[in-house]
Chain A
Amino acid sequence: MSEEIPRLIVDGKRLDGRDFDELRPIKIEAGVLRRADGSCYIEMGKNKIVAAVYGPREVHPRHLQDPSRAIIRYRYNMAPFSVEERKKPGPDRRSIEISKVSREALEPVILKELFPRSGIDIFVEVLQADAGTRTACLNAASVALIDAGVAMRGMITAVAVAKVEGEIVLDPMKEEDNYGEADVPFAFLIRNGKIESIALLQMDGKMSAEEMKKALELAKKGAMQIYNIQREAIMRKYSREEEEVE
């Protein structure tokens, strides 16, 4: 088996020609769905994802209502055609876990106390999956939340870091995720253009403490780049509206 593993790093470059600290190409568009309160389409490398936000709206079933704050529901879902081998539709253990950690990343950022007894529903749909869908989904969801006009403390920006052939690399692609030694998705709360805190941190594989520190620094650097693209996507949509409301 080990013979089949491709060389992931050749002459200091990765399989797709990127440097260790280089992101895949990113495209973000805000407000793509007419029926949703807020939405976002994102492409991160080969990932293609749509996020939709509904709410704040009344919660059904009623017993889930919280009289003092809004409840947040997050659903991560992969389309059957999003992966190489057709995926059976419906939630599985992986998507339930991703939904939970993503919701918990967004919950402290949304000002839930402003909307008692209501609910905010976030749906993210992976149309095409490469590596790092959970981070791409979070990036899309936070743009969609802002597009919906939901009150938030700041922006959530997520990026993954991996260890491949002993090197720490930013934003791993599929081969690096499959054959690498470690995978660490991060999400940060960014406020006023500065990273304030970590909203999500998971890791799988083997890494030394030193490598973890290096990974964090690399992730911060990548997150700032993504943050600027997220910001630009929202500004692009709303700059036209600037003159309207006086």
Chain B
Amino acid sequence: MTRKIVMPGDLVSTNPRAAGYGTYVENGKVYAKILGLLDKSDTGVRIIPLKGRYIPSTGDIVIGIVREVTANGWVVDIYSPYQAFLPLLEYPETRNRKVNEILDIGDAVIAKVLNIDPKMKVTLTMKDKVCRPVRVGRIVAINPARVPRVIGKKGSMIRLLKSELGVQIIVGQNGLIWLNGDRRKVSIAEEAIYIIEAEAHTEGLTDRITEFIKAKKGELENERRNTQANS
């Protein structure tokens, strides 16, 4: 199904109660405020953004880097116009350690957006089962507007990467992706993610990625056989 592209200022609905994400209401009319794809249903209209920085919303899983350690928590860079704060109280199992012994400057964390106040002060929490400090693995950064494509329709793309390569993947809504597993397979996954980010058109992208992974896995297999033969 192809959706119409809309630009800021385009009239998308005359029912102000239908106004959803990416729209604004003026004089009882609903206009688009960002460039994106028009998603119109019986209950409302919203715009799926095509470009733009990551703007946090409550409940998002994000990957961030600790930039500052304070007495009662950490200032975390979430690759958005706003810095986030992770309070000490939102970290489970502190086990009487000092703040900088739990997380220090430069450490990466997978956290959840707990709250955003009207002044855009973002509060994070680690009290969720996917949340964890990142001690192992690799972090890959992509454009946040590409995140839905890396995930794919109903998670199809991410499922493909996980099952074909057997690596752990957590996709942060802010465009940072954590990969963990066999080092060479993680490298393949990283390359595949960059391809997904760069490809401008989707036609058969899933098939192309499947093929790419197969080819790369074949190379790995050959290499292993060669080294075994030599030893």
Q: Which residues of A line the B interface, CB within 8 A?
A: 37-38, 55-58, 67-68, 111, 114-118, 146-155, 189-192, 231, 234-235, 238-246
Contacts and interface: CB of A to CB of B under 8 A. Distances in A.
A118 B10 contact: no
B195 interface: no
A149 B51 CA distance: 5
A56 B51 contact: no
Nearest to A244: B202
Nearest to A111: B33
Interface residues of B, number: 38
Interface string B145-156: 100110001000
B28 to A, nearest CB: 14
22 contacts: A37-B51, A37-B53, A38-B51, A56-B81, A114-B55, A117-B81, A117-B120, A118-B82, A149-B35, A149-B50, A149-B145, A153-B8, A153-B24, A153-B31, A192-B9, A192-B11, A231-B7, A238-B35, A244-B149, A245-B37, A245-B149, A246-B1
Given A111-B24, A154-B9, A239-B5, A55 B81 contact: yes
B200 A240 contact: yes
Nearest to A109: B8
A151 B26 CA distance: 15
Most buried by A among B3, B9, B81: B9
B83 interface: yes
A154 B5 contact: no
A155 B7 contact: yes
A152 B8 contact: yes
A71 to B, nearest CB: 12
A234 B22 CA distance: 17
* Most A Cβ at <10 Å: residue of B8, B10, B48, B119: B8
Given A111-B24, A192-B31, A234 B51 contact: no
A115 B149 contact: no
Contact of A241 (B53, B55, B200): B200
A154 B120 contact: no
